[in-house]
């Protein structure tokens, strides 16, 4: 489907020649009286405008918001459970829990002192594969914002789509488990480049793998030289104190993005 033309400035141009009937010899107009209108509008503009509104709502309530991303099965919800237990009594935390369907993750997070707003992603700008700003905006109505210090937005497990959507957060973190293989930063550079913090999870399993922690960290560094890399094991608790310290600094406004 489609034809691609390479322009002199390096751009390539696809022209979809489908089942329509325009004159291929005349590219000046596809239809008698056709008029060209310059648009130059970002396709993400609507999402980005709503993300700015979300950010304003967080700021107005003195809240710091973190967008937490990962592939499925990386241990994101387990890390979040331990995090809520640790921060209980120190910070008032809200969680926006994105999931394609089911409330299984929300149930795991209940009873840990945090407000939970569940968001199933079957509707919205992007459907099932990520959270977008309109969805997060709707989820805010499920939280008592004036009572909160920190909102953690647990995104849908996916290394591609969530990286594309600003949802109004102040920082992005991702969980990257060593069982996913050390090549993932090179395969998903957009995601790995977008984040401020990488939690390198399941480091207790490293003795059973072919690569060591330094190799994983080096691969992350290859695409993102400035991210904070925190090796942790949610199962044993190893390294988790460094993550809690980072989050406390973030929640109290002591953390400022280097980007």
The footprint of another protein (CB under 8 A) covers 1-2, 4, 7, 10-16, 18, 20, 22, 29-47, 124-127, 129-130, 158, 160-161, 163-164, 186-187, 189-190, 193, 221-225
* Closer Cβ to another protein, 14 or 59, answer by number: 14
Query: Partners of 198 in the beta sheet?
Result: 174, 229
Query: Partners of 177 in the beta sheet?
Result: 201
Sign of CA dihedral 64, 135, 79, 164: negative
Residue with tokens 């109290």: 252
* Closer Cβ to another protein, 172 or 202, answer by number: 172
Q: Which tokens sit at 248?
A: 């406390």
Rounded to 5 degrees, φ, ψ at 228 are: -80, 125
CB of residue 243 vs another protein: minimum separation in angstroms? 24
* Closer Cβ to another protein, 163 or 174, answer by number: 163
In angstroms, the CA 26 to CA 215 distance is 56
Sign of CA dihedral 185, 188, 189, 192: negative
228-231: strand order across its sheet:
115-120, 93-99, 150-154, 64-70, 171-177, 197-201, 228-231
CB of residue 109 vs another protein: minimum separation in angstroms? 26
* Closer Cβ to another protein, 33 or 207, answer by number: 33
User: To the nearest 10°, the Cα dihedral for 203, 209, 213, 218?
Assistant: -140
CB of residue 248 vs another protein: minimum separation in angstroms? 29
Query: How deeply is 104 buried, as exposed, middle or buried, from its count of CB atoms within 10 A (0-12, 13-18, 19+)?
Result: exposed
CB of residue 157 vs another protein: minimum separation in angstroms? 13
Q: Which tokens sit at 222?
A: 């290859």
* Closer Cβ to another protein, 111 or 258, answer by number: 258
CB within 8 A of 186, min separation 6: which ones? 219, 222, 223
CB of residue 19 vs another protein: minimum separation in angstroms? 9
CB of residue 195 vs another protein: minimum separation in angstroms? 14
CB of residue 38 vs another protein: minimum separation in angstroms? 5
């Amino acid at each position: 489907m489609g034809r691609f033309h390479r322009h002199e400035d390096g751009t390539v141009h696809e022209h979809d020649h489908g089942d329509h009937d325009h004159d291929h010899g005349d590219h000046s107009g596809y239809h008698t009286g056709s008029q060209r209108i310059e648009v130059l509008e970002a396709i993400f503009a609507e999402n980005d405008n709503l993300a700015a509104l979300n950010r304003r709502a967080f700021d107005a309530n003195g809240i710091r918001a973190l967008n937490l991303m990962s592939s499925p099965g990386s241990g994101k919800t387990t890390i979040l459970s331990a995090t809520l237990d640790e921060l209980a009594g120190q910070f008032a935390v809200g969680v926006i829990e994105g999931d394609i369907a089911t409330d299984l993750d929300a149930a795991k997070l209940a009873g840990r002192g945090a407000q939970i707003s569940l968001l199933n992603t079957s509707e919205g700008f992007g459907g099932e594969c990520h959270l977008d700003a309109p969805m997060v905006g709707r989820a805010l109505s499920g939280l008592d914002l004036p009572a909160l210090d920190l909102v953690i937005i647990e995104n849908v497990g996916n290394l591609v789509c969530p990286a594309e959507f600003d949802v109004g957060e102040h920082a992005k973190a991702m969980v990257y488990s060593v069982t996913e293989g050390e090549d993932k930063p090179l395969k998903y550079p957009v995601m790995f480049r977008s984040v401020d913090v990488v939690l390198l999870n399941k480091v207790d399993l490293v003795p059973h793998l072919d690569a060591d922690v330094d190799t994983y960290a080096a691969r992350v560094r290859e695409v993102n030289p400035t991210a904070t890399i925190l090796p942790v094991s949610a199962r044993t608790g190893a390294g988790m104190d460094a993550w809690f310290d980072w989050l406390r600094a973030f929640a109290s406004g002591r953390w400022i993005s280097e980007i």
